[in-house]
């Protein structure tokens, strides 16, 4: 029989408006915490009781403290806690079985002019630490796990500290299952739609005007992967996004572009390959070939690391479960065929 504990918590200073923001309309925030962490929360004024399994109850207690800090007045007004803030905080609290609350966030923090960007879970923390400590880092996993965003944040941080002289962002211009045909315009207009996620991350961290100025000065370069051929990239932070859509030859070409005092981060999701049928993903091949090479780190994310809407994690998990079942059926079928008499 599992142990159940009750944690008593008093939130100070007592402030009705801050408590209302914490609890949300009709206690929606409290209900979300209860549902996601499997605890029962009751409160009267600023006195809270959290009932549940010790691990989850302690996580929920720490979560309430953190969220109450988020309700501190800003320029005289109390900020309303948004559902996505509560969701991301819950993601952190659910990782308490692997790390003490917030420890992984204290280990690595990336400072940009728009604020501090910190990992949301231990896997992200390990990923950022590997980016900082390795020349080449692979981030492999489903959408929404922060692979590209954190890589761009590390690049911006390195540029701000003058550890590198430029940032290069690239990805293969592969259509996601749709034939787009001829695209009008110059090179920038043709490839910008493919590179939009990278631009968005830069704009959020540095601001639109600064990014435009850095692009004009070639301090930031955004280009399709094909334009990397024949170059040697020194004093640069290079990010290859959507690398599951590279061929084996393209991946080898990219990895051999890296020069002195440069870092490369390669991100991708091997479950979403848009290459023509029969073509092997350069990312899959690199995982097999480079696994034991020094100064190269591999980081694998799962559905539990998704930091988007909670349904995204459930979708990713459902696909993973389905693919595992299909693979098991195929293996069982092969085994039966191999044992059948000729």
Residue by residue, DSSP assigns 176-214 as SS-------S-HHHHHHHHHHHHHHHHHHHH-HHHHHHH
Pair type for strands 47-52 and 40-44: antiparallel
| Closest residue by Cα to residue 130 from 264, 283, 287 | 264
Q: How confident is residue 19, by pLDDT bands cut at 50, 70 and 90?
A: very high
Length of the chain (residues): 342
Query: In terms of DSSP bridges, do strands 220-224 and 166-171 run parallel, antiparallel, or are they unpaired?
Result: parallel
Q: In the predicted model, what is the mean pLDDT of residues 233-239?
A: 90
Rounded to an integer, what distance in angstroms lies between the CA atom of residue 206 and that of residue 213? 11
Domain annotation for the chain: domains and CATH numbers: 5-93 (3.30.1370.10), 108-308 (3.40.50.300)
Tokens of 342: 């000729």
Please count the CA atoms within 13 angstroms of the CA of 288 that sit on its side-chain side: 8
* pLDDT confidence of residue 180: 46
pLDDT in tens, 286-338: 999 998 887 899 999 887 777 666 666 677 678 777 877 887 787 777 777 66
The Cα 195–Cα 140 span in angstroms is: 18
For residue 103, pLDDT over 60 is answered with: no
Average pLDDT (223-233) is 79
Under 8 Å CB-to-CB from 140, ≥6 apart: which residues?
147, 267, 268, 269, 270, 283, 287, 298, 299, 300, 301
pLDDT at 233: 84
Please state the φ and ψ torsions of residue 25, each to the nearest 5 degrees: -60, 130
Q: Phi then psi for 6, rounded to 5 degrees? A: -125, 120
Verdict on whether the full-model pTM lies above 0.75:
no
What does the alpha-carbon distance between residue 179 and residue 282 come to, in Å, rounded to a whole number? 22
Please give the C-alpha separations between residue 189 and each of 182, 195, 223, 224, 238, in angstroms, as whole numbers. 12, 10, 11, 12, 21
Nearest C-alpha neighbor of 59 from the set 43, 41, 72, 77: 41
What 106-111 contacts at long range (C-beta under 8 Å, 24+ apart), as own/partner pairs, is 108/132, 110/150, 110/153, 110/154, 110/156, 110/157, 111/157, 111/160
DSSP lists the bridge partners of residue 171 as 224
What would the two tokens of residue 93 be?
A: 């609290």
Least reliable range by pLDDT among 43-57, 187-201, 265-279: 187-201
């Amino acid at each position: 029989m599992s142990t159940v504990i009750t944690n008593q918590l008093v939130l100070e200073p007592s402030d009705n408006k801050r408590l209302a923001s914490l609890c949300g309309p009709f206690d929606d925030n409290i209900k979300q915490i209860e549902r996601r962490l499997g605890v029962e929360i009751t409160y009267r004024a600023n006195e809270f009781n959290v009932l549940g399994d010790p691990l989850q109850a302690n996580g929920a207690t720490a979560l309430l403290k953190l969220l109450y800090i988020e309700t501190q007045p800003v320029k005289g007004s109390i900020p309303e806690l948004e559902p996505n803030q509560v969701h991301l905080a819950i993601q952190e609290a659910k990782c308490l079985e692997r790390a003490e609350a917030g420890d992984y966030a204290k280990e690595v923090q990336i400072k940009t002019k728009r604020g501090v960007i910190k990992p949301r879970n231990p896997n992200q923390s390990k990923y950022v630490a590997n980016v900082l400590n390795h020349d080449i880092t692979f981030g492999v996993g489903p959408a929404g796990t922060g692979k590209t965003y954190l890589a761009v944040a590390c690049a911006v941080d390195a540029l701000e500290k003058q550890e590198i002289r430029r940032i290069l962002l690239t990805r293969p211009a592969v259509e996601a299952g749709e034939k787009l045909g001829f695209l009008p315009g110059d090179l920038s207009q043709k490839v910008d739609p493919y590179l939009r996620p990278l631009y968005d991350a830069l704009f959020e961290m540095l601001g639109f005007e600064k990014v435009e100025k850095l692009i004009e000065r070639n301090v930031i370069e955004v280009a399709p992967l094909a334009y990397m051929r024949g170059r040697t990239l020194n004093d640069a932070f290079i990010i290859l996004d959507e690398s599951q859509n590279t061929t084996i030859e393209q991946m080898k070409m990219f990895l051999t572009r890296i020069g002195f005092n440069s870092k490369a981060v390669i991100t991708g999701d091997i479950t979403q390959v848009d290459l023509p049928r029969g073509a092997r993903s350069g990312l899959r091949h690199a995982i097999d070939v480079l696994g034991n090479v020094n100064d190269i780190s591999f980081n694998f994310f799962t559905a539990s690391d998704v930091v988007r809407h909670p349904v995204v994690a459930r979708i990713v998990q459902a696909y993973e479960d389905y693919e595992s079942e299909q693979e098991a059926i195929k293996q069982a079928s092969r085994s039966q065929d191999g044992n059948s008499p000729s």
